Amino acid sequence: CEREVALQLNIDNLRSQNKVLSKESESLRDEKASFDEYQKQIESMQEGKSVLQQQLTDSEERRCEREVALQLNIDNLRSQNKVLSKESESLRDEKASFDEYQKQIESMQEGKSVLQQQLTDSEERRCEREVAL
């Protein structure tokens, strides 16, 4: 009889422990589910971070490419400016020569005008002499 009472007490204690363990187990399952959800959120954030990092890297690469392109453009424009500057200097020299030729032509035209007038005057005098003769 004592043995049955002891066994019954042991069964009651085990049932009581079982209830406690069941509650702990349920609580731990809830915590694990919560932890799993947090883990998913962390993984999602890490994926987002990875995407953002890649976008930043891509953006920096494009910025660097644009800077290189702009520098090449600047170098090309400087080169073109040097060429245009030389051409401009050459054209100024040519214009100065042209202006000098223009002055010579005008001077010759004035001389031609004077000679034409002298010829006209000479022919008029010749005609007057012929009439007088």
Q: Which residues of 80-117 are buried (b: 16+ CB within 10 A; e: fewer)?
A: eeeeeeeeeeeeeeeeeeeeeeeeeeeeeeeeeeeeee
Alpha-carbon distance of 15 to 7, in angstroms, equals: 12
Number of CB atoms found within 10 A of residue 34's CB = 10
State the pLDDT at residue 45. 96
> Greatest CA separation found in the chain?
190
State the pLDDT at residue 1. 84
Alpha-carbon distance of 58 to 43, in angstroms, equals: 22
Enumerate residue ranges in the chain where pLDDT < 70. none
The predicted-structure confidence for 28-56, as pLDDT tens digits, reads as follows 999 999 999 999 999 999 999 999 999 99
State the pLDDT at residue 109. 95
**Phi, psi (deg, nearest 5) at residue 80:** -60, -40
The pTM assigned to this predicted structure is 0.47
